[in-house]
Structure 1
Amino acid sequence: MGTITESNIIQVDFGGDDRPKYVVVESAVRAAIARGDLTPGTRLPPVRDLAWRIGVTPGTIARAYARLTDSGELEAQVGRGTFVAEPSGPAPIYREFQALEVDSTPHNTGGDVYEVNLLSPHLPSVGQARLIRDLLKEVAEDPPSGMMHYPSFASERPARAAAAQFLSHPSLGPVEADDIALTHGGQHGIAMVMQSVLTGRRPVVLVEELTYPGFRRMAETMRAEVVPIAMDSDGLRPDALEAAARQVDAQLLCTSPEVHNPTARVTPEARRREIVAVARETNLQILEDDCYRMEPGPLPSYRLLAPERTWHIASIAKTITPALRLGFAIAPSGRQVALRRAAEYNSFGMATPLSDLMARLLVHPDLPELMDETRRMVSTYAEAAADILSGYDLVWRQDVSFLWLTLPVGWRASAFCRAAEAAGVKLRAAEEYAGRDTNAPHAVRFAINAGVSLDSFRSAIRRLKELLDNPQGGLDV
């Protein structure tokens, strides 16, 4: 990311142009972005520098920058400057899953500090990549579904049967192959459920006040209103859920009871039963996101507690690999046809080579051992972080690939994230999981990045500890 210093990149010509000068400057910057001269992430000249170069007042440049920032073409970062923003529109969901293999890039300090990306989990490679490559070769040489036909519900049945076996656990309840729709990852499963459930011109979706951003963004894509529900240490508050459901005539509740994202907490069974009672009383459907669970838990799922209204979403992204974009959606009793229709209307189904791969991968005899080793390594990294940050308000679990850190007095989440990035560590502020009208706590979420060495990971966590031990003083002005 560089800074624009050449005066000819932003070409401003006031001659014969009757528009206000700030509008002319605004158009010139916009044109430079359109030409590709100013690419996303480029830092623009400071206001006074550009004003001096083109012969206008600093106020003219400041107003042009402000208008471009309001329209989303520029982004102002406090204390750093003004930058060309990413293409306009909501932040893409895929940023939640960016590749994190950065173990060898020196960061600012003579080569002894490395940038470590802890934005999203990165699984260790313990042999699953080799297994997938071998199975892909088998599928390519002799594809059971052929290579010249559209996918169909019938052709996907071996993959769905394998998925039913893969997902089978007492906490989930009985799962048959025909209950499952194959999805292109968990986010696609969320989209399919919302397409199956939401009706009317302005449906209402309820989410936890801190929640996975994909719930909100997909609901907004469906032109739904998103209403956050207050939480306590056990998860959603039943009284707040019931009040909101009745007040706004909500249709769907999106929740993650087994591994809440971002706080890593689990919703106790008693609270789950209270939530189910409210859902039945107010006729709410439940979308249960189970994508972060690395191994089956002992508590009954919402699907087991309320099979008539729970839509269960899972994927292999946090247990095997996110690269294949393979996931599963399970419909409530009697709603399988609606979910199947959503899958067919979206894409006719999963590409046949992928469904053939899934049919072999999910029941391969080597897979359980590989998944156990993955969990063991994630646990090793999580324990290392917890040991270094001992004494701080940290929520972590051995089978969860991220941690939740409440910051000590003196730190705000956004400031802490900026300081951490300056120290070569990227993490997420609580604000990223809160709605616009929700007061986010001063907390951060950071993920296990097992794509870097354990030593590099420990070094990154020690840098976070150094920041925590020395909170910022003074006031931001």
Structure 2
Amino acid sequence: MDTIWPTDLPKSKGPKYTLVADTIRKAIENKQLEVGVKLPPVRELAYRLQITPGTVARAYSILTEEGLLQAEVGRGTFVAPPKMPLLDDVWSRQLHLRDDKYDANVSLFSPRLPDVGQVSLIRSCLAKVAQGDPKMFMNYPTRDAYLPVRQAVVDWLSDLPLGALNADDIVLTHGGQSGLCVVFQTVLRDPKPVVLVEDLSYAGFRRAGELMRAEVVGVKMDKWGISPDALDHILRQTRAQAICVSPEVQNPTGGHSPLERRNEVIEIARRHDLQIIEDDCYRMGEARAPSYRALAPERGWHVSSISKTLTPALRVGFAIAPRERSGDLRRSAEYGYFGLAQPLAELTRLLLSHPQSRQIARDVRAKMGEYVRVAVNALGGFNLNWDPDIPFVWLSLPSGWRAAAFSRAAEREGIQLRSADEFALRDGRAPNAVRIAMNGHVSLKQFESAMLRLRALLDNPPEQISV
């Protein structure tokens, strides 16, 4: 370092920490600092340059984040080996099937996000995790070890109306379904608890309830969600302890509950001491009303994930309890699975706190909106419920079609989608409708072809009478 630093910093404008970082960066690029060279301790370099130790520490931190330096506990800071080369950017961002390898088969079972840069970002974050503190790979996780990632989650959720929220309120889960199960474990009691769901609802509600040996009961719904009158009637007949709702994006219909309806549900829930569990995993746009946790802070639970904003592959979700129940929810998670693996938690911290992540989420939302518009252009002549910020559309079938028959016909065309039957309780009635999810892994051209094949089926129902 003596060959780089005479006695003071270069004469240049800008914060001193950037001058320190730039000088070291140039020295590494010019091979004046070779791989493995140890840099002076923070206080020693600060004394030599007559600047504060915090300035040097910040410069070291920036270069460590860039992968140019690596810090080893108890040993010091060293010049890091060159980064492992990533795949060519065009290839790393190309999940779509190439047109010259066209495949007519398209899965529309569940939303598949396009890669708009998150693959490259995740790889970069994984490389940083690999260079992290060795203890992260050898020790059991602790609550304190998760504090930085929980704070990153709070920052990530900062634009949502969730009520008072801090890092202690966040419980990390293995995706939204895991979050739902942890909340059930915290809320439900008695040998045979009762859980309420909307007549048509996410099948994971039912599965999580059955896992807890609960009786799952459907409640009638309208275009605004749970019917208040039906809810009050069922609560007079049962001793239900919780209700699962998706007020922002009702899955599968794509509807939402306005503020007035949410307040009606809360009034009834308070009268019957009912816990409200909100699943917010499908929302990609801005929230249209305050969450149940904000509106009813004594009984509102919130479950979310990054599956529809960044990637479902990491299986990272968040569960949030009412403030007075946060300790109960933490214990359920700790007793059940201790917590996320520390490398996964660190990856989550790096990903959520990266300055590119919010723009990537916005780009995912915009790209999925393009697929929705293609679907609407092809199918808009039919009874279609859609929103550009929702990664699926809900299609009510025309006369002559039944949901099961239409799903089979679509599958013969190479298209897999979900019938309304899959969202109804076993003893419930399902409408003649299907849910069509957006698939960002195929090109818009291929997706449009699938939509046009569906339209051809809709135009020619099997019961149509030829004249």
Does the alignment reach a TM-score above 0.5? yes
Residue 415 of structure 1 pairs with residue 397 of structure 2: no
Matching residue of 1:449? 439
Structure number with bigger Rg: 2
Give distance in 2, aligned partners of 1:145 and 1:117: 42
Report the AA paired with residue 295 of structure 2.
Answer: L
Preserved CA contact (<8 Å) 1:181 1:329? yes
Matching residue of 1:126? 116
Could you tell me how far 1:295 is from its partner in structure 2?
2.6
Match for residue 350 of structure 1 among 337, 340, 350: 340
Give distance in 2, aligned partners of 1:404 and 1:312: 25
Unpaired runs of at least 5, structure 1: 1-100
Residue 459 of structure 1 pairs with residue 449 of structure 2: yes
Could you tell me how far 1:144 is from its partner in structure 2?
7.9
Matching residue of 1:429? 419
Preserved CA contact (<8 Å) 1:103 1:453? yes
Residue 207 of structure 1 pairs with residue 207 of structure 2: no
Alignment of structure 1 residues 360-399 onto 2, 5 Å:
360-399=350-389
Residue 326 of structure 1 pairs with residue 308 of structure 2: no
- Please, what TM-score do these two structures have when normalized by structure 2? 0.77
Match for residue 340 of structure 1 among 330, 337, 344: 330
Report the AA paired with residue 461 of structure 2.
Answer: P
Alignment of structure 1 residues 103-118 onto 2, 5 Å:
103=97, 114-118=104-108
Could you tell me how far 1:170 is from its partner in structure 2?
4.8
Report the AA paired with residue 246 of structure 2.
Answer: S
Preserved CA contact (<8 Å) 2:96 2:440? no
CA RMSD between the two structures: 1.7
Preserved CA contact (<8 Å) 1:103 1:115? no
Matching residue of 1:154? 144
Matching residue of 2:298? 308
Matching residue of 1:232? 222
Could you tell me how far 1:363 is from its partner in structure 2?
1.3
Preserved CA contact (<8 Å) 1:254 1:287? yes
Cα-to-partner distance string for 1:141-180 (whole Å, 9 max, x where unaligned): 1138622111121111101000001011252223200001
Alignment of structure 1 residues 38-187 onto 2, 5 Å:
103=97, 114-143=104-133, 146-187=136-177
Could you tell me how far 1:473 is from its partner in structure 2?
1.5
Cα-to-partner distance string for 1:397-449 (whole Å, 9 max, x where unaligned): 11110110000000000000000000111100000000111110000001000
Residue 263 of structure 1 pairs with residue 253 of structure 2: yes
Report the AA paired with residue 471 of structure 1.
Answer: P
Preserved CA contact (<8 Å) 2:194 2:239? yes
The number of aligned residues is 371
Match for residue 186 of structure 2 among 187, 196, 213: 196
SS of the equivalent of 1:362 reads helix
Give distance in 1, aligned partners of 2:135 and 2:277: 31
Cα-to-partner distance string for 1:298-343 (whole Å, 9 max, x where unaligned): 3111111111101100000000000000010001121011100111
Report the AA paired with residue 340 of structure 2.
Answer: M
Runs of 4+ residues over 4 Å off in structure 1 = 101-106
Matching residue of 2:49? none
Matching residue of 1:222? 212
Q: Would the alpha carbon gap of residues 143 and 295 (structure 1) be closer, same or farther in structure 2, given more than 3 Å must change?
A: farther
SS of the equivalent of 2:144 reads coil
Give distance in 2, aligned partners of 1:367 and 1:143: 24
Preserved CA contact (<8 Å) 2:243 2:275? yes
Give distance in 2, aligned partners of 1:460 and 1:129: 26
- Please, what TM-score do these two structures have when normalized by structure 1? 0.76
Q: Percent identity?
A: 51
